[in-house]
A and B are shown apart, each in its own frame.
Chain A
Amino acid sequence: MGKEQKEVIKVTHLRTEFHLPEGFVRAVNNINFTIHSGETLGLVGESGCGKSVTALSMMRLIPDPPGKIVRGEILFEGMDLLQLPKNRMQKIRGSKIAMIFQEPTTSLNPLFTIGNQISEVYTEHMGYNDKKAWDRSVEIMKQVGIPSPKQRAHEYIHQFSGGMRQRAMIAMALACNPSLLIADEPTTAVDVTIQAQVLELMRDLQDKSGMGILLITHNLGVVAEMCHRVIVMYVGQAVEEADGDAIFDEPLHPYTRGLIGSIPFPGRKSLMGKKTLEEIPGMVPSMFDLPKGCVFQPRCHEAKDICEEQVPKFVEVKKSHSVACWMAHS
């Protein structure tokens, strides 16, 4: 990683719940992680496993009601973000911690020019005057690789292509040089070539600034490419945590193995010695009605009695490699 291993953010025992008319959901259940400067942590899992809710909880953007962060501590720059008064949290959002979203087309206001929207971040957070904000916006547009930034700053989002819109969003997020970037599925809505560009851009910017990145994705290819460390989530819980290589070389949790086993790639037959894609049997349980014991147990072919009775603890079984599975603990 190169830079000093400074802790940028430390999340402990995060728990976010939703009280809905249909019932009660624990969307994030005891998530813990630390991100250091220059480090990219991947949060992986299927849709609905709580990855985005984790990110929104960190930014305190969970709508209350019906959601509520009921437990946990988020240490950032020596402060617990969950205890901060609202206006201080507002100052941190967009300047020290920034977020980019999956769909850049709808995340940008269609009525204002790109230059205008990026300038807004500067005028609101850094107190720049309009001219200085505009100049800096053009500069950062150049940094993220938007060609002819001086002209394009006067354009609207409908005049930008998908990849450019994504870059514009990244420009807005990085305007104030945040120490942490939360990227919620940044590559899901763009095509493959743009995906590669966006990831490369993020990596370059990270190298230059030393910011930490929380990368939320369901795409294991992106994880392999970008992440120094990975947490695999299932129905709101962390089931495995390891370094980027270790999670692919030696997945310990049956769910992780299932996810990796279901990646289609050429040459599969020879590499894996298997002919068919393996699917994980069954379906993700409804969050309103979780199984007792290990939540993955109904779909797991390695499950034993203990898995049905007791919730497995999240334990470090190898160096920097933790897993919540009774079978892996033995």
Chain B
Amino acid sequence: MNSDVRQKIIRTFLNNKTAPVGFCISVLVIAVCLSAPLLPIQDPIDHSMVNRFRPPSSQYLLGTDNLGRDVLSRMIWGGRLSLLVGVLSVSFAMVLGTMIGLIAGYKGGMIDSIIMRVIDVMMCFPILILGILLVAALGQGLSSLIVAIGIAVTPRFARLCRGSVVSVRENDFVEAARSMGMSDMRIMFRHILPNIMGSIIVMGSLWVGAVIITEASLSFIGLGVPPPAPSWGRMVREGMEFLSHAPWVGLYSGLAIFLTVIGFNLLGDGLRDILDPKLRR
């Protein structure tokens, strides 16, 4: 990539008022949560019946919950979990969905029809319902959760990818590449894929937010990662009961979800501006 292209990208990103904000929030959240083991915070599962429901103080910056666990620490560790699930599930869905979409879109015909009908059926179910079904099937635990949510989100990526492939494959340079004797695989991965990556990446960043909420919802109904592992969803769930007299238990996690999802959404908008060649010119 030559330097004037690079400069244009940075300029476009900064032109979008909210994208840099989103970028900062996302980076901040990721940095803080990923460095959880290194931060000087309490053990998130160390409970202490003596210190239950302590309001925010110098010792417990965000207070303690119903089992005396430090809310701040649980929030950071919980964020780590949520982000892990968010990023890994979306990556899983992105890779799998892109493969499926590429094949369906490029080959067309019967393969395309069959694949898209299956996708259509899967898309009838809301993500949360699919997530519940898959977790029930795969059992509880972090890896099954990631796979379950990943599978639930895959159809959306497959559909987006397939649509993009169908429009890009009509381009002259695809025919020109074919006339140069390039094989189908090479055309799919080298000529078509880079031209559709933009919209897929944007969708990815937007879905990280949605997946975090899904994980929070699953934890809320008890299907997420089993306790005592902290998770934003579970903390909001548990905090609900004590909202009147100890709001800090659930409130901050709720805020964290809100902020993180907004951060990723704004980042996604910024990415869309950069990656959409028309806006960039």
With known contacts A61-B178, A154-B2, A108–B173 Cβ distance under 8 A: yes
* Chain B residues with CB below 8 A from A107, complex form: 172-173, 175-176
Contact B181 A61 (CB under 8 A): no
With known contacts A109-B191, A110-B277, A98–B173 Cβ distance under 8 A: no
* Chain B residues with CB below 8 A from A156, complex form: 5
With known contacts A109-B191, A154-B2, A95–B181 Cβ distance under 8 A: yes
Contact B173 A92 (CB under 8 A): no
Contact A172 B175 (CB under 8 A): no
Contact B172 A124 (CB under 8 A): no
Contact B181 A124 (CB under 8 A): yes
A111 at the interface (CB under 8 A from B): yes
With known contacts A101-B172, A103-B172, A111–B179 Cβ distance under 8 A: no
* Chain A residues with CB below 8 A from B5, complex form: 156
CB distance from A2 to the nearest CB of B (A): 28
Contact A108 B176 (CB under 8 A): yes
B195 at the interface (CB under 8 A from A): yes
* Chain A residues with CB below 8 A from B190, complex form: 120
Which residues of A (106-156) have their CB < 8 Å from a CB of B?
A: 106-112, 120-121, 124-125, 154-156
Q: Bits for A156-195, please: 1 = Cβ < 8 Å to B, else 0.
A: 1000000000000100110000000000000000000000
| Count of chain A residues with a beta carbon within 8 Å of a chain B beta carbon | 30
B171 at the interface (CB under 8 A from A): yes
User: In the complex, A59→B180 CA distance in Å?
Assistant: 10
Q: Bits for B1-30, please: 1 = Cβ < 8 Å to A, else 0.
A: 010010000000000000000000000000
User: In the complex, A14→B62 CA distance in Å?
Assistant: 81
Contact B181 A94 (CB under 8 A): yes
Cβ contact of A93, chosen from B172, B181, B191, cutoff 8 A: B181
A90 at the interface (CB under 8 A from B): yes
* Chain A residues with CB below 8 A from B195, complex form: 109-111
CB distance from A108 to the nearest CB of B (A): 6
7 closest A-B pairs by CB: A94-B180, A94-B181, A93-B181, A106-B172, A107-B176, A99-B179, A107-B172
> Which positions in A face B, CB cutoff 8 Å?
59, 61, 87, 90-95, 98-99, 101, 103, 106-112, 120-121, 124-125, 154-156, 169, 172-173
| Contact sample, A vs B, 6 pairs, CB 8 Å cutoff | A95-B181, A98-B180, A106-B171, A108-B176, A120-B190, A172-B180
- 18 extra A-B contacts, CB within 8 A, seeds A59-B179, A101-B175: A61-B178, A61-B179, A93-B181, A94-B179, A94-B181, A94-B182, A98-B179, A108-B173, A108-B176, A109-B177, A110-B195, A120-B182, A121-B180, A124-B180, A124-B182, A125-B181, A169-B176, A173-B180
> Which positions in B face A, CB cutoff 8 Å?
2, 5, 171-173, 175-183, 186, 190-191, 194-195, 277
